[in-house]
Structure 1
Amino acid sequence: MGKGGKVDIDEPGASSDQKHKTFKWDEVKQNKWIVIENLVYDVSRFSRKHPGGERLMLNHAGQDATDAFLCFHTDMKKVRKYMSPILIGQVMPESDVNPNEERKTELHKDFQNLKLLAEKKGLFKAKPIFFLLHFLQLVLLDLLAAYIIYRSGFANWLAYSIAVACLVIVQAQAGWLQHDFGHLSVFRSNKMNHFVQNIIIGGIMGFSANWWNYRHYQHHAKPNTIKRDPDIRFGPLYLIGKVVPVEFGKKKMAKLPYNLQQFYFFFTLPPLLIPIYFVIETVYFLIKKRKLHIMWISIYLIRWYAMFVPALGLMGTIKLYFLVRVFESVWFVWSTQISHFPMNVDYDKDLSWFRSQLNSTCNIEQSAFNDWVSNHLNFQIEHHLFPTMPRHNYYKIAPDVKELCKKYNIEYQCKTMSQATYDVYNCLKESGELWYEAYNM
């Protein structure tokens, strides 16, 4: 690797043929190779071994994946080990460059300069005490909930409600905290990040870190991209954006009254996503990928059994589980989708990293409440641009991101919480109307 994580054509492992062979972009696209810093990599076999999953890498097939590559990876020494054997050459300079491509190249350079600026400011360095306090919050609230349940059980509805509230906070905040470690933004060691992520998402939340990483990295690589982003794969239940609703309408697909989805959405996806869909998807993923190492999930189940069954019984504990999951799910969907649902949803247009993130993501204005309830993911734009940056530094890079947006006339959207919530309703309504009009043509 070159300095700053760039790949050198003269790196060890690259043969003479690899160093001098050149390819046209048409060849790259036809063979579904990937380009990083103008170097061409054949990922057809390696994609199956890629830690982020085969689909993540193939979603960039035939494209320049430089920005995504540099933004996702932190341990370049380890990456170098895998890159050299699949290097096959470099891209041939095009004689006639499209003005749009020139502009895209300029934006790429400016974004990389912005990333270097963030590194110089130390914005990729985490504050251990910040994450330690958040972890202690989870432990204390979990123990408090167990103590309240042990002392009161179902007898005191107020005490029981307080215990439920504590557990909901634990699960929601644990989700944000494991998210930090999953993005490798806390420790320098990737192994340590993944280890702590397993403790939190497995032992505290009862889900698989492998499953979460597999789906979440795809979302970051191609947000709001049809057939690429798992977070917008709603099947026949909901239609969002302006493209899919029209396609469904023209094909006379009417499995549900989509012109009413702005109403039934709030009573279906928010409360049911985590307790139903995520549980089913996790089990399916673990079986399909043969990742049956369920030690961490077992710790979660044993912990809940020991903490609540003696006071509530088995059925009472199951009821508590679903009650907590429903409220957690509403919190999660509300906090995350207000930054994505109302934004552009389309097929992959191979936009630059910077432009694609801004097209599909918006911020929620900063406040003590908004920062806490979303754990600084109200700075969703900055998080998507710099996924390995510790979240307590997002606000520091935000002014520089705004300046770059102004230079390229890219809209930087920042909304109030109420406006963002209303926009979810409004975008569902608009998409439903588009379907209805196309269906009745």
Structure 2
Amino acid sequence: MSQLVADEHDPPRPQQRYTNLYTDLLTAVRELGLLKRRRGYYFTRIGLVLAAFAAVWVGVGLLGNSWFQLLMAGALALVLTQVAFLSHDSAHRQIFDSAAWNDWTARLLAGGLVGMSAAWWRSKHSRHHGAPNQLGKDPDIAIGVVAFTPEHVAKRTGFQAWLTRRQGWLFFPLLTLEGLSLYVSSIRHLLRRGATSVERIEAAIVVGRIGAYLAVLFILLPIGKAGAFLGLQLAVFGVCLGGSFAPNHKGMPLVPRTMKLDFLRRQVLMSRNVRGGVMVDFAMGGLNYQIEHHLFPSMPRPTLKAVRPIVREYCALHEVKYTEVGFFASYKIVVDYLNNVGLRARDPFQCPLVAQNRN
């Protein structure tokens, strides 16, 4: 870490020092070879996921008209979650050197297997990475079913207000609808006026996949079992995918709309890592290393764990708070955060740089 320490005999100005913080870290990480592609890892993982996807459908065909199909619905949801993680990695250009190869891999995985739009997701997710937890900029904390600020709460009346007062306790039930929400948002984005030619191709892939999926279900199964299969698959998928994203930023400081932060503090202070070992790494698709992912979005997933101690040490050296909690503790924080907003209508967290910037 010695190469990351600024020259004390020639101290830079504050603004330059904050800029250099990330530049120095990035340089050290690159020199250690931690940004190199891990194609073997990804080819193996894609192969295993495709095999699992095929195995689920073989199982569906063999089981026939049986309520045991609900087990296959749950299995399909778990496999699709892993496919979505791979699409996420490819969209971040972690797999190939070629941007086009990454983009089309993301499209085919998301559209052809999951039935979601990679273009819609990339647009939304890029804005989130650019301004995590910043009011008016991060779409992940924009007003929606869940309210994230007292201002959001104040605008709600009737059933919405009732729901908001209980949103922390309803967090997991609401996640069962996340899968359906992702599909609806994807289709609306792809079928909008002004869609690009690539998005129209993606729309054909997504609509074709969804149509084929529904056709197979309702041909193989009676309407009741097909509906139960579809409902359970969407619910489990929503919980698994939404549950992997929620602990990463919810309950971390909210940044005022006009505040400007240097890149390292913007990414580290608003993100949270989740401990838990191999099982958590698998269940969360590597997103439990959220701080490292935000600092190095194109870093291959298996390398995030290796760079974690370097980032922790660097943050400690420069007195930048690095937040990491256990798996269950992370969800407790999320539920408490949502209840703090919904039940007591107050700001549960404040950006630690607000006071500093006022001085």
Task: Give me the TM-score of the superposition, normalised by structure 1.
Answer: 0.69
- Matched residue, 1:398: 308
The one-letter amino acid of 2:80's match is Q
- Matched residue, 2:64: 153
The one-letter amino acid of 1:145's match is V
Distance 1:199 1:252, change over 3 A: closer
Equivalent of residue 342 in structure 1, options 251, 254, 268: 251
Quote how far apart the aligned CAs of 1:224 are. Answer: 1.1
- Matched residue, 1:324: 233
The one-letter amino acid of 1:256's match is A
- Matched residue, 2:5: none
Q: Deviations over 1:80-105 (max 9, x none)?
A: xxxxxxxxxxxxxxxxxxx9x94342
- Matched residue, 2:147: 239
Quote how far apart the aligned CAs of 1:289 are. Answer: 3.8
What is the correspondence of 1:82-161 to structure 2 with a 5 Å cutoff?
102-155=13-66, 157-158=67-68, 160-161=69-70
Q: Is the 8 A contact 1:203 1:298 kept in 2?
A: no
CA distance in structure 2 between the partners assigned to 1:178 and 1:372 by the alignment: 15
Quote how far apart the aligned CAs of 1:415 are. Answer: 0.6
Distance 1:355 1:150, change over 3 A: same
CA distance in structure 1 between the partners assigned to 2:101 and 2:119 by the alignment: 15
Q: Is the 8 A contact 2:340 2:346 kept in 1?
A: no
Distance 1:367 1:310, change over 3 A: same
Q: Deviations over 1:393-438 (max 9, x none)?
A: 011211221122113322111110011011111111212244179x
CA distance in structure 2 between the partners assigned to 1:148 and 1:253 by the alignment: 46
Equivalent of residue 288 in structure 2, options 358, 367, 378: 378
Matched, 1:292 2:203: no
Matched, 1:171 2:77: no
**Unpaired segments of 5 or more residues in structure 1?**
1-98
Distance 1:366 1:119, change over 3 A: farther
Quote how far apart the aligned CAs of 1:218 are. Answer: 0.6
Q: Is the 8 A contact 1:248 1:435 kept in 2?
A: no
- Matched residue, 1:62: none
CA distance in structure 2 between the partners assigned to 1:238 and 1:104 by the alignment: 36
CA distance in structure 1 between the partners assigned to 2:76 and 2:122 by the alignment: 24
Matched, 1:280 2:190: no
- Matched residue, 1:256: 161
CA distance in structure 1 between the partners assigned to 2:130 and 2:48 by the alignment: 31
Number of residue equivalences: 328
Q: Is the 8 A contact 2:251 2:337 kept in 1?
A: yes
CA distance in structure 1 between the partners assigned to 2:46 and 2:251 by the alignment: 32
Q: Is the 8 A contact 1:182 1:213 kept in 2?
A: yes
CA distance in structure 1 between the partners assigned to 2:89 and 2:76 by the alignment: 20
Task: Give me the TM-score of the superposition, normalised by structure 2.
Answer: 0.84
Quote how far apart the aligned CAs of 1:375 are. Answer: 1.6
The one-letter amino acid of 2:54's match is L
Quote how far apart the aligned CAs of 1:151 are. Answer: 1.6
The one-letter amino acid of 2:93's match is L
CA distance in structure 2 between the partners assigned to 1:425 and 1:360 by the alignment: 17
Distance 1:315 1:139, change over 3 A: farther
Greater RCO structure (CA 8 Å; 6+ sep): 2
Matched, 1:267 2:173: yes
Deviates more, 1:295-304 or 1:138-147: 295-304
CA distance in structure 2 between the partners assigned to 1:168 and 1:113 by the alignment: 41
Quote how far apart the aligned CAs of 1:305 are. Answer: 5.1
Taking every aligned residue pair, what percent have the same amino acid on both sides? 23
Q: Deviations over 1:25-51 (max 9, x none)?
A: xxxxxxxxxxxxxxxxxxxxxxxxxxx
Q: Is the 8 A contact 1:150 1:308 kept in 2?
A: no
**Unpaired segments of 5 or more residues in structure 2?**
1-10, 348-359
What is the correspondence of 1:344-363 to structure 2 with a 5 Å cutoff?
344-348=253-257, 349-363=259-273
Q: Deviations over 1:305-336 (max 9, x none)?
A: 57544421566545423321110101111111
SS of 1:344's partner is: coil
Deviates more, 1:141-150 or 1:180-189: 141-150
Deviates more, 1:117-126 or 1:298-307: 298-307
Q: Is the 8 A contact 1:204 1:300 kept in 2?
A: yes
Deviates more, 1:426-435 or 1:356-365: 426-435
Q: Is the 8 A contact 1:144 1:166 kept in 2?
A: no
- Matched residue, 1:66: none
